Structure 1
Amino acid sequence: MSSLTPPQAPPSWSFTNEEILSKTEQYIKEGKELDDLIASKLDAPTIDNVFKPFVEFGNRYDGLINQLTFLQHVSSDSKLRDSSLAAEEKIREFGIESGLRVDVFKVFNKLWTENENNDKLNHETKKYLKKINTEFKRNGLNLPEETREEIKKIQKELSTLSLQFSKNLGENVDFIKFTKEELNGVPSDVVDQFDAIEEDGVTYHKMTFKYPDLFPVLKYSKDPNTRKRAFLGDQNKVPQNEELLKNSVILRDELSTILGYDNFANYILEEKMAKNSTIVFKFLNDLQEKLQPLGAKEIEILKDLKKDELQLPKHNEVDYFVWDHRYYDNLYLEREFQVNQEAIAEYFPLKTTIAKMLNFYEKLFNLKFVESETTSAWHEDVKQFAVWQLDGESPEFKGWLYMDLHPRDGKYGHAANFGLYSGFSDFNETRNYPVTALVCNFSKPTKEKPSLLKHDEVVTLYHECGHGLHDILGNVQYAKFHGPSASKWDFVEAPSQFLEYFCWSKDLLKSFSNHYKTNEQLPDDLTESLIKSKHVNGGLFNLRQLHFGLFDMKLHTSKTEVDISKLWNKLRQEIALVSNGNEISKGYNSFNHIMGGYQAGYYGYLWSQVFAADIYYTLFKNNENDLAKSGKKYRDIILARGGAYDENDNLKELLGRDPNNNAFSQELGLEN
């Protein structure tokens, strides 16, 4: 199998600053020429003289443009990151200009009108034409010229604000200095990775806000003041982003008003599964009503644990601060369920865990992953895999998968999948294959130990690889409908959330494990205690998600200027049931989701869990000895179709009925 030769080489990553900008300028030049060509066809637009050139241009450039703009998130060269950001600014500006050309809209509108009932066009072609027409209308192309100019101005400002917000986060190198004593309780192998500095004869350890630094301090530090400083420091980093978010919210409201919507959320939701803000608020408020009694019980248990540790009488009142939660949640798991995350992590060395995960996905989806021994990727840490599907007589190449898994300065700080090249068939029926990248931030190996994953990091790895497979396994005609980016945003998390369930199956979890010293599997006692803990404090976890979702929705439905700081802190106390301790924190300054695609859409993380639970419970939960049949069915109906067909129709075909929330309610321990 390793001797297989992919029909498409991986993309080259040897860009200079000048090349990034020159290729960007070439793309814009040809894009303007294409728009001029299409505009000239108003008298007699056809599929051949309008639609095909439009599609071919996208085929030729979209992957390359994704590459060029991706480098701002992963390159170690700050100048290259700056060039990548500058390229994206230019590309977005051109996209706004192109999307507001009335002469081009008139041609596509006429082409759609003439072909709306053309039965000779296949499903994807007709849907693509309709989508182009709809996108132009949603840009206000049926409005007067003066109004269109105002829309253009707002869209350009929003684009600039979004890019700057993300850049500020990516470039952040802030840290907090702690003494060894202040880090009491934090595992020594974590502290040893912190840079040490001497000041006035005192040794300080620098905790950055990268996850491998921050989370262990919040989970293990016995000093409440250390946890408080770490939490507030992280929440209040990049203060310059506050004004960017405020201005974005105002501009979004202006844009939606101009376009004739009650609020920005309704403008966004029109194209989502939920359809409008009324439905989203009902979903979130109902969930809050069901979850808060559960969360209240959980927090009382954690308060008692805090009293016990502080040696306070049970009848004493004690505040449970937001910076307390990771620490006492972890302590409760250790004491009551014997869940020792550090011990569990020894069974999940990163390299072996990746191999076992890919082996599982091979069996589930009938695939083969072949790692390249050499790679020309953007950084030496990056792993590169060719992915093959094994259904037919000979393996079918599906695409290239990258993994960039360790933190470094200037790199994207969270966990995400970036689709780079879409899969599609050109008009000569030549297949072009996707390229996708997993970008995560797991701790680096040391001289003493390999990189070891906590269980929640294992879940993150399976989740993000789920997005990557959604991308790799797409099988559509047009790049427009390929992969996660073509799915509705309140469904797009479901394929990855569904895969998380396998990380909680006893037999599978043991098979995923491999102790870094002994090669032994996770023992039964650790496995069982971990699985029992799955929904411990699950009410509080989901209330935290509700805080994010309701903050996002309230921000984007208000018709008056919002005090963002007050809303953020007030909602957290009311919804998540934790005290702010009279401290103002501004976590929204690093809430990149609502500046980079999930604005008026963060509810989708909870909304999509309904579908993920339904899929797992219906097809996989009691079928773990024979997953391949259901896995292939799921692969072909959900993953392969991308956005080419309606998600509700796909789910109904997969499940044999309309989806429902019974499994989701059961999973959370809630009444239906």
Structure 2
Amino acid sequence: SSGELDNRPLIEQILELKLAQARRLGDPNWAEVSLASKMAGSVAEVEALLEQLRAAAYPVAQGELEALAACAARHGAAEASGIMPWDVSYWAEVLRQESFDLDSEALRPWFSLEQVLGGLFGLCQRLFDIRIVATEAGEAPLWHSDVRYFRLVDAGSGEPLAGFYLDPYSRPGSKRGGAWMDECLGRSRTPAGEQVLPVAYLICNQSPPVGETPSLMTFEEVETLFHEFGHGLQHMLTTVDRPQAAGINNVEWDAVELPSQFMENWCYDRATLMGMARHWQSGEPLPESEYQKLLAARTFMGGSATLRQVHFALTDLRLHSQWTPNCGQSPEQLRRRIAASTTVLEPIPEDAFLCAFSHIFAGGYAAGYYSYKWAEVLSADAFSAFEEVGLDQEEEIVATGRRFRDTVLSLGGSRSPAEVFEAFRGRGPSSGALIRHSGLAAG
């Protein structure tokens, strides 16, 4: 109550310092400094994208709020004040269970690590014309008995392309949590002109095998594995020999998630998912009803989720492009003006979200939070290239996959991401696929 821990003055101080620094660099505001090193060309371009997403998400989010209120009423919890912000998570979970009772833990038996790896590697062979081969003991140095080493070779020529380490299991106390991809060796040439092939680390933290029971994954862990492998593919399939621009190096912040999020889309492709989702004991495929639940879960409360990210991104962008110490409003007042069109539940008077928005004040995302949605637009639009030719049309899928390999996965940071994307897609990115995948398309 003393206010000594109120960091709102710090927020203004940070914004003032960034504004002053931008002007010393010859830019009108910090947003221009941020975008100079990103794929997005201007503040107006980012605003236009966010408005497309906002316009699609807002009516859907309104409908979702009405559905939560109706759910609460069915359970005898209707109040004159209606749904409040602290009610949303609870009633969303109740409604989710009523709509489709998806038990993530119960699906584990259908996703053994070996089955999932088989599906992932088979997909990569189909799309990118590569083979992924497990190596013999002793072929590469290993730091733990859980770790395996794989080689990538061109399926047509047999030419070696890259390698990667897979360290899949949690080791409490001796291994950092989470999942990530990192560089072991980058593609380059020695002073003598010899080719150095890229090697990646692929690290996960899933349950290890126990006795006769293999490592069984949640669907979220399957998505994570596909995601990190997408980063790995861009590192391993690069054809750029200059380390500074090979693989993921020098790829702009708002484009680097394109290959990873692109790979996640295949987890919802019927042929890919049903081909690897087999019960580890009986071999039975995942029941159709469970597949439909996974599809429903992907878009559940999708309007609210999209609108929330648009609110965060637009607040960040305008604080760094429009706010000044003399603009006549505080950062919080600017944020609340934005909330009028980006929230379906008005923030309560005590709301102090900005005071905890560490991404933009302490995490390097100043005027860059939009990158999350920008990258989703790119990845969804890239996947839609495969949808347009028909996911069951093998010849067209193979050709499209090869084009993705030769552009997005090959060129790394050697060309601007806008050029690379256009070389693959034949045009600039469109938000239409993400709007559709998020369940926001009209009708």
The Cα shift of 1:297 comes to 0.6
Is residue 617 of structure 1 aligned with residue 374 of structure 2?
no
Q: 1:382 to 1:444 in 2, by over 3 A?
A: closer
Aligned to 1:480: 244
Aligned to 1:211: none
Question: Once structures 1 and 2 are overlaid, which stretch shifts more, 502-511 or 469-478?
Answer: 502-511
Is residue 645 of structure 1 aligned with residue 431 of structure 2?
no
Kept after mapping to 1: 8 A contact 2:153/2:162: yes
In structure 1, runs of 5+ residues without a counterpart are 1-238
Q: Residues 197-236 of structure 1 correspond to what in structure 2 (within 5 A)?
A: none
Kept after mapping to 1: 8 A contact 2:381/2:430: yes
Kept after mapping to 1: 8 A contact 2:360/2:367: no
Whole-angstrom CA distance in 2 between matches of 1:447 and 1:580: 51
Counterpart of 1:510 in structure 2: which amino acid? Answer: M
Aligned to 2:35: 269
Is residue 283 of structure 1 aligned with residue 49 of structure 2?
yes
Kept after mapping to 1: 8 A contact 2:182/2:202: yes
The Cα shift of 1:430 comes to 1.5
Is residue 347 of structure 1 aligned with residue 347 of structure 2?
no
Q: 1:403 to 1:469 in 2, by over 3 A?
A: farther
The Cα shift of 1:639 comes to 0.6
Aligned to 2:193: 429
Kept after mapping to 2: 8 A contact 1:401/1:468: no
Kept after mapping to 2: 8 A contact 1:463/1:496: yes
Structure 2 residue matching 1:639: 3-state secondary structure: helix
Kept after mapping to 2: 8 A contact 1:242/1:589: no
Is residue 522 of structure 1 aligned with residue 286 of structure 2?
yes
Aligned to 1:634: 404
Whole-angstrom CA distance in 1 between matches of 2:12 and 2:381: 38
The Cα shift of 1:356 comes to 2.8
The Cα shift of 1:476 comes to 0.3
Counterpart of 1:575 in structure 2: which amino acid? Answer: T
Whole-angstrom CA distance in 2 between matches of 1:449 and 1:244: 53
Counterpart of 1:559 in structure 2: which amino acid? Answer: T
| 1:604-626 deviation per Cα after TM superposition (whole angstroms, max 9, x unaligned) | 22123333222222234513352
What is the Cα-based RMSD across aligned positions, in Å? 3.9
Whole-angstrom CA distance in 1 between matches of 2:304 and 2:222: 21
Is residue 511 of structure 1 aligned with residue 275 of structure 2?
yes
The Cα shift of 1:424 comes to 2.0
Whole-angstrom CA distance in 2 between matches of 1:609 and 1:305: 31
Is residue 656 of structure 1 aligned with residue 426 of structure 2?
yes
Whole-angstrom CA distance in 2 between matches of 1:364 and 1:425: 28
Whole-angstrom CA distance in 2 between matches of 1:299 and 1:661: 24
Aligned to 1:602: 369
Q: 1:568 to 1:357 in 2, by over 3 A?
A: farther
| 1:303-331 deviation per Cα after TM superposition (whole angstroms, max 9, x unaligned) | 3223334x235x85432435742x54444
Whole-angstrom CA distance in 2 between matches of 1:360 and 1:323: 42
Structure 1 residue matching 2:412: 3-state secondary structure: coil
The Cα shift of 1:488 comes to 2.1
Q: 1:284 to 1:441 in 2, by over 3 A?
A: farther
Aligned to 2:324: 559
Aligned to 1:468: 232
Whole-angstrom CA distance in 1 between matches of 2:346 and 2:141: 49
Aligned to 1:304: 70
Q: 1:397 to 1:268 in 2, by over 3 A?
A: same
Aligned to 2:298: 534
The Cα shift of 1:563 comes to 7.1
The Cα shift of 1:642 comes to 0.4
The TM-score with structure 2 as length reference comes to 0.81
Whole-angstrom CA distance in 2 between matches of 1:569 and 1:451: 47
Is residue 360 of structure 1 aligned with residue 131 of structure 2?
no
Q: 1:556 to 1:452 in 2, by over 3 A?
A: farther
Q: 1:301 to 1:453 in 2, by over 3 A?
A: farther
Aligned to 1:6: none
Is residue 334 of structure 1 aligned with residue 101 of structure 2?
no
| 1:68-124 deviation per Cα after TM superposition (whole angstroms, max 9, x unaligned) | xxxxxxxxxxxxxxxxxxxxxxxxxxxxxxxxxxxxxxxxxxxxxxxxxxxxxxxxx
Kept after mapping to 1: 8 A contact 2:378/2:429: yes
The Cα shift of 1:294 comes to 1.0
Aligned to 1:253: 19
Whole-angstrom CA distance in 2 between matches of 1:421 and 1:247: 42
Counterpart of 2:104 in structure 1: which amino acid? Answer: Q
Counterpart of 2:130 in structure 1: which amino acid? Answer: L
The Cα shift of 1:365 comes to 1.8
Q: 1:253 to 1:461 in 2, by over 3 A?
A: farther
Q: 1:298 to 1:263 in 2, by over 3 A?
A: same
The Cα shift of 1:470 comes to 1.1
Kept after mapping to 2: 8 A contact 1:407/1:442: no
Question: Once structures 1 and 2 are overlaid, which stretch shifts more, 587-596 or 645-654?
Answer: 587-596
Q: 1:581 to 1:359 in 2, by over 3 A?
A: farther
The alignment of Structure 1 onto Structure 2 pairs a total of residues equal to: 430
Aligned to 1:124: none
Q: 1:329 to 1:647 in 2, by over 3 A?
A: same
Kept after mapping to 2: 8 A contact 1:573/1:580: no
Kept after mapping to 2: 8 A contact 1:303/1:320: no
Q: 1:269 to 1:512 in 2, by over 3 A?
A: same
Whole-angstrom CA distance in 1 between matches of 2:65 and 2:212: 38
Amino-acid identity (%): 25
Aligned to 1:670: 441
The Cα shift of 1:443 comes to 5.5
Counterpart of 2:275 in structure 1: which amino acid? Answer: S
Whole-angstrom CA distance in 2 between matches of 1:553 and 1:349: 43
Q: More helix by proportion, 1 or 2?
A: 1
Is residue 544 of structure 1 aligned with residue 311 of structure 2?
no
Counterpart of 2:382 in structure 1: which amino acid? Answer: I
Q: 1:329 to 1:369 in 2, by over 3 A?
A: farther
Aligned to 1:321: 85
Whole-angstrom CA distance in 2 between matches of 1:410 and 1:371: 25
Whole-angstrom CA distance in 1 between matches of 2:203 and 2:357: 18
Counterpart of 1:606 in structure 2: which amino acid? Answer: K
Is residue 497 of structure 1 aligned with residue 261 of structure 2?
yes
Q: 1:402 to 1:615 in 2, by over 3 A?
A: same
| 1:560-611 deviation per Cα after TM superposition (whole angstroms, max 9, x unaligned) | 3997788889977973545767765669758558755544222122123333
Q: 1:303 to 1:564 in 2, by over 3 A?
A: same
Q: 1:252 to 1:308 in 2, by over 3 A?
A: same
Question: Once structures 1 and 2 are overlaid, which stretch shifts more, 468-477 or 617-626?
Answer: 617-626
